[in-house]
Structure 1
Amino acid sequence: MYFGAKNISVSYGKEQVLKNLTLSIEPEKTTAIIGVNGSGKSTLLRAMGRLLKCDGEIIFENQSLKKLSNLEIARKIALLPQSVQVPEEITVYELVSLGRFPHQRFMQQSLSQEDEQFIEKIMRATNTWNMRESKVSELSGGQRQRVLITMILAQDSEIILLDEPTTYLDVVHQLDILKLLKDFATELKKTVVYVIHDLNQAARFADNMVVLKNGELFKSGKVSEVFTEENLHEAFGLDVTLGCDTFTHSLMITGVKYG
């Protein structure tokens, strides 16, 4: 297994949220995790990013993450959770630069020229360079989310995990970010995994799709295999019709029977 979970379970008190779940993530692809609220999506992502303790194993290149140091893991896996606490006085550039920490040498006090060049490159790619001197506390919700994503991308980890990365973004910026993440996977050979609620956007931008149901793996595979009317009915309780996006020809929900 390149990366994923092996027989993991997570409980909050007496409630078991993930139940003996095994999942393999394909390298250098984008994977969207979908499911109804409470199905375990965010819990799975947090467990794979080692933000939550779990029974079972999180695997990277056929070995347990428990065998790697925290610094080694940070160089391999970057995680952006839903809620991030940011110091009020920190600037956008300072926040993004924190992503370079795993690559800095012991006792290094400042950014290297290589770090600075990489940060500028990433910030220009995410359209945050022009706000680099602004305080994060002064940004709109959408701008702040874009900066947080930029910080994660600046970490330059092999695996990028994001929990609802398009939260607070308008539709134009949602499309920008999802395209950017797909480009990172394709051009920079990154493995990108994100939780997302918009099913059509998941189908449009992801290579693979994971569907959770009641804390268990319901379906996993290529979007064309997983994103079917039957699977959506079983996982979400929706009667839908599928068609093709006019521009991209990707699968999309064209009709929903409700009530």
Structure 2
Amino acid sequence: MTRPASIHPTAQVDPAAVIGANVGIGAYSVIGADVHVGEGTVIGPHVVIEGPTRIGRDNRIAQFASLGGDPQDKKFGGEHTELVIGDRNLIREFVTINRGTGDGGGFTRIGNDNWVLAYVHIAHDCQIGNNVVFSNYSALAGHVEIGDWTILSGYSGVHQFCKVGAHAFIGMGCLVGHDVPPFVTMANEQQGRPRGINSEGLKRRGFDAPRIAAIKRAYRTLYMAGLSLPEAREQLATQARESDDVRAMLDFIDRSERALAR
């Protein structure tokens, strides 16, 4: 059943904001101009959302989150930039997500069905896929890309302009300073290093034994065979003929702009 938005009388909602049906806005929250909140989204108390920000359907935003603030970039000059958040995301307490910058594409984007847990920071121009888990206190610098189904453990961090591929796992306290291919686990050291593939996560998501075996073979080629990156890439190209997952790893390597984590 469609109902009007439920807005607590102490909340401050700018008249220019667009609030969808079935939206709830808690006490003392502040919703700025040029904010669009999609149907069914629930915003807790003491939340601040600045615009331009677009929020999709059925999100859950907990108290004290701050979304859509100016990017923390000295080059930012007040140009029109946006934060775009998809559907069914959980955003917990004290999360901060900034808008994009003019020279970084203009958009920070969050996909669908992500869990963004307490005290997470997502900086300007980050591009986040779907079904990503950000554990408590994890943080992204600007211009980071995170693929679908990635997990970032507590207190982990990703350096600016780095890419992390789909289904990767970043271990607790791990600092990522290079591009991380799909399926790879980074763990054990402050300056994180590859430590195998995320096999347990792949099993949970329905990857069968032959798919996982192909990914393990590709990992051994890339990290354990003593090959240079061009040599490893040549062998991966052969393996990719029989595995779409290896093809995804190869495509990631080919578009990597920073040094690959090795």
* TM-score category of the 2 structures, normalised to the smaller one: under 0.3
Q: Give the TM-score, by structure 2 length.
A: 0.26
Name whichever structure is richer in helix by fraction.
1
Q: Which has the higher contact order (CA 8 A, sep 6+)?
A: 1
- Choose 1 or 2 for highest CA Rg: 2
